[in-house]
Amino acid sequence: MTDRPVVLLAEELSPATVEALGPDFEIRHCNGADRDELLPAIADVDAILVRSATKVDAEALAAAKRLKVVARAGVGLDNVDVKAATQSGVMVVNAPTSNIVSAAELAVALMLAAARNVSPAHAALKNGEWKRSRYSGIELYEKTVGIVGLGRIGVLVAQRLSAFGMNVIAYDPYVQAGRAAQMGVRLVDLDTLLSESDFMSVHLPKTPETAGLIGADQLAKAKPSLVLVNAARGGIVDEAALFDALKTGRIAAAGLDVFAKEPCTDSPLFELENVVATPHLGASTDEAQEKAGIAVARSVRLALAGELVPDAVNVQGGVIAEDVRPGIPLTEKLGQIFTGVAGELPQQLDVEVRGEITDHDVKVLELAALKGVFSSVVEDQVSYVNAPLLAAERGVAVRLVTDADSPDHRNLITIRGTLADGAQISVSGTLVGIHQRERLVEVNGYDIDIEPTDHLAFFTYDDRPGMVGTVGQILGDAQVNIAGMQVSRDSKGGQALVALSVDSAIPADTLTEIASAISAASIRAVDLV
């Protein structure tokens, strides 16, 4: 017997991972892909380290009586039930930046392979065919490449392609033009990028807003010579539209590492010679795997020592006052709502914390706000470590403001930002009752009281009769159920705000129909999932 914390390695991890854990733990091993072996093995451990084969679901979590940390040695968390872990008070950590170089290099590799017909030429040669003239390719030199999403991976791709002598343009509504210019990148809108690009590489997060972003209408605006690469997330590029564009010669070629449904082994795209495809290999390098293992081993050490864990994706460790902890998830949601309402990043962002909570150190709430603000903006995982760096990279000045005086609420958290045109956006929330229920209590100066559920929407319009009924009717016709609704106005007959919580994401065409029907001054949908 030992009093040392027990760490279970459920998959093969590098020796460097075990070395990073150090001598303070009892290390055990099991085959996590075998449920009959996993469930008894996880019963009395403090932490489990996995890759992608082990499913840490509700059943596994229920069997783990002592579990404090689930560590995924990689970026994705598809095999970890984060919600169930959170409900069980189990921290989930991953390695959000371990694969960024590997992912960037694969995007460049796919671009070169597609440009030079490497895949079909290789296949022909293996079949005994020498087809030099058929597989003539094109150079990258002095061509224009459009980077869709200028996050960390997008920046790395831009840097590498600049070295090829390419002209780099980019579309990213959350990056300031000055910041892009410093990197030698010209910011453009998506239509301009599509019409000017000879090559195009996608580096966006997968969100309700980016799903299907590159579809038939967008591909119709591209040059016939376009080579499109997607090594980011499946579903951002509409695969049916891409197939049609490639089949008909609407665009020239594509390099794909990700697909809408994975594993994907049977796609019409695989039948085309002008497609080079890989089975989601973005993070599959020795270096990325080792970086991931070392990173999560360090996080496990921090977590089991009771210290702050920067890469935790759900519950945070560290020396944080008990009165502050419930405000962390609320503040992160407020950050997400702020970005959704603003539609862009601010130049100045203030995180205002008022009330009794300010007797404690509330710096963690500033980090939580930034994590929320950037969660749907960048492709890479946002953590407490990289969120301030992301703000600095994008020219967002951040300030934490505290005040013990809170006239209307015991505690109040407000995220207030100044946009490039001088407009101010604000959202406020609080926790109410003995169960500390989350409430959204203000948006852009309008007083409301609504639960910040997974799917929200905000409409502003001129106050007049019948508008609430119109909104309800259109949502009903679209089979979108309203969970909560609040109407606020600045004056009778003035501007009004409708805040909605709904049970499912509102389709884009439904939002457009509502905007037209009520002559909305602004309309924003925010999905927190």
Nearest-CA neighbor of 427 among 358, 524, 362, 304?
A: 524
pLDDT band at 428 (very low <50, low <70, confident <90, very high): very high
Catalytic residue flag (residue 280): yes
* pLDDT range class, residue 491, cuts 50, 70, 90: confident
Query: Which comes out higher in pLDDT, residue 367 or 338?
Result: 338
Is the bond preceding residue 263 a cis peptide, omega within 30 degrees?
Answer: yes
Mean pLDDT for 74-85 is: 85
Q: What is the pLDDT of residue 323?
A: 85
Instruction: Check if the beta carbon of residue 210 is closer than 8 Å to that of residue 238.
Output: no
Q: Among this protein's residues, is 116 annotated catalytic? A: no
The CA-based dihedral angle spanning residues 268, 269, 270, 276, taken in that order and rounded to the nearest 10 degrees: 180
Q: Which amino acid is at 92?
A: V
| Percent of the chain residues past pLDDT 90, beyond the cut | 75
What sections of 418-489 are H helices per DSSP?
467-477
Residue entry with tokens 């984060």:
82
Which residue has tokens 């994907």? 264
Looking at domain 1-95+283-319, its CATH architecture is 3-Layer(aba) Sandwich (3.40)
Enter the tokens of residue 42.
Answer: 């996880």
Q: Which residues are CB-contacts of 163 (< 8 A; sequence separation ≥ 6)? A: none
**Cα within 13 Å of Cα(426), Cβ side:** 17
- Length of the chain equals 529
What is the arrangement of strands in the sheet containing 26-29, beginning at the earlier edge strand? 26-29, 6-9, 47-50, 69-72, 91-93
Give residue 14's region: left, alpha or beta (phi > 0; psi -120 to 50).
beta
Specify the range with the lowest mean pLDDT, choosing from 22-31, 312-321, 498-507, 509-518. Answer: 312-321
Q: Which of these is catalytic: 179, 203, 233, 524?
A: 233
Q: Place 236 in a pLDDT band, splitting at 50, 70 and 90.
A: very high
d(Cα 52, Cα 91) in Å, to the nearest integer?
18
Beta strands in 163-220 (DSSP E): 167-171, 186-187, 199-202
Nearest to 448 by CA among 501, 400, 522: 501
Catalytic annotation, pick one of 19, 129, 262, 307: 262
Lowest mean pLDDT among 167-171, 320-324, 364-368: 320-324
Q: What is the pLDDT of residue 314?
A: 74
> 176 Cβ partners below 8 Å, 6+ apart?
345, 347, 394, 395, 420
Tell me the pLDDT band of 385, cut-offs 50, 70 and 90. Answer: low
Cβ–Cβ under 8 Å, residues 471 and 426: no
Q: Which of 177, 173, 220, 171 is nearest to 195 (CA)?
A: 220
User: What number is the average pLDDT over the span 119-147?
Assistant: 96
pLDDT surpasses 80 at 460? yes
**Average pLDDT taken over every residue of the chain:** 92
CATH class of 100-277: alpha beta
Average pLDDT of span 70-74: 92
**Which of 179, 280, 298, 455 is labelled catalytic?**
280
315 — pLDDT class (breaks 50, 70, 90): low
Mean pLDDT, residues 101-126: 97
Domain ranges of the chain: 1-95+283-319, 100-277
- pLDDT greater than 60 at residue 2: no
pTM attached to this predicted model: 0.74
User: Closest Cα to residue 313, out of 27, 56, 502?
Assistant: 56
The residue with tokens 């309402």 is: 341
Q: What average pLDDT does this structure show over 178-197?
A: 94
Classify residue 309 as left (phi > 0), alpha (psi -120 to 50) or beta: beta
pLDDT at 342: 95
Is 233 among the residues known to form the active site? yes
- pLDDT over 50 at 1, yes or no: no
Q: Please tell me which residue, 97 or 511, carries the higher pLDDT value.
A: 511
Share of the chain above pLDDT 70, in %: 98
- Burial label for 270, CB within 10 Å (0-12, 13-18, 19+), is exposed
